[in-house]
């Protein structure tokens, strides 16, 4: 046998063994440190200028659309409601929260207001997460054109229709699925630095369609089921509570 071939095989075997050992250690660490969250709360942002006036998108990029004064008030009053949901049904008085937030102005502003209801000791972290941003509808949006496009989407199907220069709901599904995988790695590897003796609550501050897609992915709803869903109201939230199985409850904060 050629000595160089033998050396290559030995290196490959050693590399394979090291990979197997590393995977075993990672799995062991994951199983020992990972703690399932007690609940996951998905929140839609408060009323934005775009909700009040669709013409706002013609002059302001979607990611810079701000909350209205009403939206700020909604977010501020939603914090105590979420806190009550957590504190009234937690098995541990030392419960903690971890926030994931879309990078858009309206979601970050929503988080800033509702987080005022949580003391610093309750919050173990905040992460800005691009994959839970709003569906991309294109760049500056001409209202008359968007009206015609949305009419076409209704006939084509809301899940698979892709906006020109933008995304389909199916595209959002793919990136939300990627986010979910990362979220579970955060939990499994205890990247959130969470004390397992405390109830862990994940709060996701996102958008209407992204929130629907999150629930679709989590509960494995079909495309047909998705087509029957509507967005949450502004600052409305869903509580996914861990028991014998995960279940969804309608949040107590609802604005129409």
> Is 45 among the catalytic positions?
yes
> Is 134 among the catalytic positions?
yes
Cβ partners under 8 Å of residue 80, min gap 6: 117
Catalytic residue among 45, 47, 129, 207: 45
Compute CA distances 97 → 117, 118, 135, 153, 156, whole Å: 11, 9, 26, 38, 40
Catalytic residue among 47, 129, 134, 236: 134
DSSP string, 105-156: HHHHHHHHHHGGGS-GGGEEEEEE-GGGSPPP--SS--HHHHHHHHHHHHHH
In degrees, rounded to 5, the angle at the alpha carbon of residue 249 between the alpha carbons of residues 209 and 119 is 85
Catalogue the active-site residues. 45, 134
């Amino acid at each position: 046998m050629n000595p160089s071939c033998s050396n290559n095989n030995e290196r490959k075997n050693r590399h394979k063994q090291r990979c197997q050992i590393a995977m075993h250690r990672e799995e062991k660490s994951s199983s020992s440190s990972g703690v399932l969250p007690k609940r996951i709360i998905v929140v839609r942002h408060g009323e934005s200028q775009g909700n009040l006036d669709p013409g706002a998108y013609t002059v302001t990029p979607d990611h810079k659309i701000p909350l209205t004064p009403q939206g700020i008030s909604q977010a501020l009053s939603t914090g105590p409601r979420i806190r009550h949901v957590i504190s009234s049904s937690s098995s541990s008085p030392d419960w903690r929260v971890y926030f994931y937030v879309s990078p858009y102005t309206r979601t970050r502003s929503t988080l800033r207001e509702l987080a005022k209801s949580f003391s610093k000791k309750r919050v173990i972290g905040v992460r800005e997460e691009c994959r839970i941003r709003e569906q991309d509808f294109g760049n500056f949006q001409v209202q008359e054109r968007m009206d015609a496009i949305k009419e076409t989407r209704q006939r084509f199907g809301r899940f698979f229709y892709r906006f020109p220069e933008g995304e389909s709901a199916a595209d959002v599904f793919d990136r939300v699925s990627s986010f979910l995988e990362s979220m579970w790695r955060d939990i499994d590897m205890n990247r959130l630095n969470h004390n397992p003796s405390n109830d862990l609550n994940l709060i996701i501050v996102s958008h209407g369609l992204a929130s629907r897609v999150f629930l679709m992915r989590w509960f494995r709803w079909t495309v047909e089921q998705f087509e029957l869903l509507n967005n949450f109201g502004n600052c409305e939230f869903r509580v996914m509570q861990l028991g014998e199985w995960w279940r969804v409850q309608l949040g107590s904060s609802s604005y129409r």
